[in-house]
Amino acid sequence: MIETSPSDVRVAGLFCYPVKSFRAVSLDAAHIATTGVTHDRQWMVVDTRTSPERFVTQREAPALATVSAIIDGDSLLLSCAPLAELRVSAPPSHALRRVKVWGSELIALDAGDEAAAWIGRVLDAPPHRYRLVKFHPEQRRECSARYAGDSGAHTFFADGYPLLLANASSLDALNSRMGRIAGHAMPMNRFRPNLVLAGLPAWDEDHVETVAIGEVLVRLVKPCVRCEITTTHQDSGARLSDEPLATLARFRNNPDLGGVTFGWNAVVLREGTVKLGDACAVEYRF
């Protein structure tokens, strides 16, 4: 391993997504557990027309980008103009639903009819077509051992891994290749990371083994294959172009993974608290 100086790289962004595919919550500090940032993707929307009920994201419902969700004690506060804010209480233990996230079939807790109707209004759908569910505390969703190895990594409703790490310099390099879209550089929120590092050379994340941030230690295990969510404006839910996918396809295509990549999925080897500005010690793979 080759280690950079801890002063070279710092935490420049820290984000949580309490509800899968809803708007990011920017944090100044967060506890990083084995499952990732506390509360990250602990809730999600499912489609009742499938059995088990399949997860719903901005891929098929880009309007989810317009919804904010904030954890307030045991409750979830949902807001989306022009709807009235909705407080969702923790679901009762008997409100069970069979759900599916990619290849994982799970039992989740249903948040009730009022939340379902509210989500239906956001998505302009019948009131019970979609349900809001919470991860069942007695479930454990293991990460793929092919990439996570024997780390014991598990997660809630994230696509596959506890953390998504992105490099600010790589975004700058991508924007240089891409030019400006409607006069603006592509923002990092299109890639929906949990951790953003600054001070790391562009694309060096492809060669990083671990990142230590104080007591926290994470291992990068798999490049993140990107989808049409990256083309979705994270304030309006609009899709106005095929960027950044079109530019990424010219130099970031990974045939082994079947798509273009930006950022890395990571597992948590050592838990702890991370704050904006924290110094990072980076170890590279040989």
Mean pLDDT of the chain: 95
Looking at the structure, do residues 57 and 154 belong to the same domain, yes or no? Answer: no
As a whole number, mean pLDDT of residues 193-216 equals 98
One domain for residues 25 and 78: no
Q: Residues 192, 106: one domain?
A: no
Residue ending a domain, choose from 139, 159, 174:
139
Provide the pLDDT for residue 4: 54
Is residue 72 domain-shared with residue 107, that is, in the same domain? yes
Task: Quote the pLDDT of residue 2.
Answer: 55
Q: pLDDT at residue 180 above 70?
A: no
Answer yes or no: do 222 and 262 share one domain: yes
Average pLDDT over residues 106-112: 98
Domain range enclosing 85 = 43-139
CATH number for the domain spanning 221: value is: 2.40.33.20
Q: Could you give the angle at the alpha carbon of 189 between the alpha carbons of 25 and 248, nearest 5°?
A: 155
Residue 36 has pLDDT above 50, yes or no: yes
Asked whether the predicted pLDDT for residue 150 surpasses 60, the reply is yes
Domain boundary among 87, 119, 139: 139
pLDDT reading at 5 higher than 60? no
Chain segment 153-164, per-residue pLDDT in tens: 999 999 999 999
Does one domain contain both 121 and 232?
no
Closest CA to 143 of 164, 160, 163: 160
Q: Identify the pLDDT of residue 42.
A: 98
Which pLDDT band holds residue 87 (cuts at 50, 70, 90)?
very high
Q: Are residues 59 and 164 in the same domain?
A: no
Report, as an integer, the average pLDDT of 54-80: 97
Mean pLDDT of 129-149: 97
Is the separation of the CB atoms in 264 and 224 below 8 Å?
yes
Residues 133, 94 share a domain: yes
The whole-number average pLDDT for the span 83-100 is: 97
Q: Is the pLDDT of residue 3 over 70?
A: no
Question: Does 22 lie in the same domain as 148?
Answer: yes
**Both 166 and 278 in a single domain?**
yes
275-279 long-range contacts (CB < 8 A, ≥24 apart) are: 275/11, 275/14, 275/28, 275/29, 276/11, 276/12, 276/13, 276/14, 276/27, 276/28, 276/29, 277/10, 277/11, 278/10, 278/11, 278/213, 278/214, 279/6, 279/7, 279/9, 279/10, 279/213
> Average of pLDDT values for 76-98?
97
Structure tokens at 175: 């924007």
Buried b (16+ CB within 10 A) or exposed e, 131-153: bbbbbbeeeebebeeebbeebeb
Instruction: Assess contact for 29 and 273: CB atoms under 8 A.
Output: yes
- How many structural domains is the chain composed of? 2
Tell me the three state secondary structure of residue 53: strand
Is the distance from CB of 158 to CB of 20 less than 8 angstroms? yes
Please indicate, yes or no, whether residues 48 and 34 belong to a single structural domain of this protein. no
The residue among 119, 139, 159 that closes a domain is: 139
Structure tokens at 82: 């022009």
**What pLDDT, on a 0 to 100 scale, did the predictor assign at position 184?**
75
What confidence score (pLDDT) does residue 6 get? Answer: 47
Co-location of 32 and 52 in the same domain? no
pTM: 0.95
